[in-house]
Amino acid sequence: MPEANDRVSRLAILIDADNSNPARLPALLAEIAKYGNASVRRAYGNWTSGHLGGWKGGLLEHSIQPMQQFNYTTGKNATDSFLIIDAMDLLYAGKLDGFCIISSDSDFTRLAARIREQGLTVYGFGERKTPQAFVAACDKFIYTENLGDEAPVKAGAKPATKLKRDRTLDNLLAEAVEAASDDEGWAHLGAVGSNLQRLRSDFDTRSYGFAKLKDLMVAHPGYVLESRKGPDGKATMVYVRKKD
């Protein structure tokens, strides 16, 4: 998201073409635009082989630079190594605020952790099969099934009214609300959302059929919401607490 001084974050998109779906590229770029400006756009793979042919149109349309890596040795993923080395070069150039790593491969777990250690934000994008180690290494991880035509909540659709609850979600919400609550148990919804993201990098209301956190909390039978006027008397602030 844009920083407090309104400067848009500068991001690098690094795509592991061998482990990503080219059909999801437009939805991915639309999602990434929420977090900043993708000044670097690169996709890695052996473009001389036939299995990456589906990427050609998307790379041209969205100005993504194909980075060529030949498979010199059978059984070794040279593409992953090339992406990692390129990412480190970009990191030490010091011109970026964050990285978007597009892959469902666990090989980028250490890369994500190293970038975070340097103080930059890491956004991960991959399918639900992505190993948890890589998901947890990112500041925020978005499952590609939640984007585009496959998303549980489509643009303009009415939010779901029933929540598919599970113990993991209940515990996560309880911890996030408790950490942000005042002496009377009320928590600002924005703070709750921030806590949820810190607790689980892959938390996404769309995974439960809701476009917004407010809609999810309204549907949850264990919580009550209250709207209040902000200090300026105009803006509306939403608070939530557990039901008695």
Least confident of 3-7, 82-86, 162-166, 220-224: 3-7
Whether the CB-CB separation of 86 and 42 falls below 8 Å is answered with yes
d(CA 162, CA 57): 40
Q: What is the mean pLDDT of residues 159-184?
A: 89
Q: Decide yes or no: CATH 3.30.420.610 for domain 167-242.
A: yes
pTM, 2 dp: 0.86
Query: Can you give the residue ranges of every domain in the chain?
Result: 10-150, 167-242
Q: Which two tokens stand for residue 133?
A: 């180690």
**Class of domain 10-150 as given by CATH:** alpha beta
Whether the CB-CB separation of 48 and 135 falls below 8 Å is answered with no
> Which pLDDT score is estimated for 75?
45
> Which pLDDT score is estimated for 232?
76
Answer whether residue 1 shows pLDDT above 50.
no
Answer whether residue 5 shows pLDDT above 70.
no
d(CA 116, CA 123): 10
The domains spanning 10-150 and 167-242 adopt the same CATH topology: no
Q: Letter for the amino acid at 206?
A: R
Per-residue pLDDT band at 2 (split at 50, 70, 90): very low
Q: What is the mean pLDDT of residues 44-61?
A: 88
Q: Letter for the amino acid at 153?
A: V
d(CA 142, CA 126): 7
Q: Which two tokens stand for residue 165?
A: 């609850």
Name residue, tokens 């939640």: 146
Strands 187-188 and 121-126: unpaired
